[in-house]
Amino acid sequence: MQKFLKDKEHLVRLAALFAAGFVLFLAAKTLLVPKGFGLYGHYRAGALADNRARPISFAGRAACGECHTDKRDEIQGGKHAGIGCEACHGPLAKHAEDPSSDPKPVKPDPRKLCLTCHLANVAKPVKFPQIDPKAHFEGNPCAGCHSPHAPDKEPKT
């Protein structure tokens, strides 16, 4: 034993230096690696909460129907029943949160809006109803004949 540890000074110094380096490394890693890193994988778990923090712009059709029950009932059962309100009326989450707030929802320009979908195009599915606006009652608002909420129910004469 005594013979083995003869001139051990340099070994102890090296070991102490190594230990100090290791402690320094751990301390630095603790400081630099953010909280939650590695909880789910090689990334910061807090990033999930960051992604969730963004405010919404589209309230969703359920929120619209809470107040606009007449429109909710009108659209049901028709060809446009599957379309979300904000698909035509635009994102209105702020309005759904506080109906008195600005900007107030505006009525979409009917002929322009209808043509967003129903303008004839070769690439559209054949079964989808399409019109050529030049040949189809040019210059007149679509809503004069077709109800935008229920185009196939109670056709206007």
Partner 1 sequence: MTIGRREFLIGAGKLLIVTAPAAAYLEAMAAGTEIEPAYKMADHYWGMIVDIEKCIGCGNCVRADKAENGVPMEPFYFRTWVERYHIEGGWSEHPEVDSPNGGYDGFPEKYAVGDAGKSFFVPKLCNQCAHSPCTQVCPVGATFETPDGAVLVDKTYCLGCRYCVQACPYGCRYIHPQTNTVDKCNLCYHRITKGLTTACCEACPTGARQLVDLKNPKDPVHEYLRTHKIQVLKPQMATGAKVYYNGLDGSVR
Residues in contact with partner 1 by the rule CB under 8 A: 1, 4, 19, 22-23, 26-27, 29-30, 33, 35-58, 60-61, 80, 82-84, 86-88, 90-91, 116-117, 119-125, 128
Output DSSP code: residue 37. Answer: B
> What is the spatial distance between Cα 41 and Cα 141, in angstroms, rounded to a whole number?
56
Cα→Cα distances 52→45, 48, 55, Å:
12, 6, 8
Q: Which is nearer to partner 1, 115 or 153 (CB)?
A: 115
Q: CB 4 → partner 1: shortest distance, Å?
A: 6
Q: Which is nearer to partner 1, 106 or 157 (CB)?
A: 106
| Category of 154 on φ-ψ map: left (φ > 0), alpha (ψ -120 to 50) or beta | left
**CA gyration radius, the chain:** 33
Q: CB 75 → partner 1: shortest distance, Å?
A: 12
Q: CB 157 → partner 1: shortest distance, Å?
A: 26
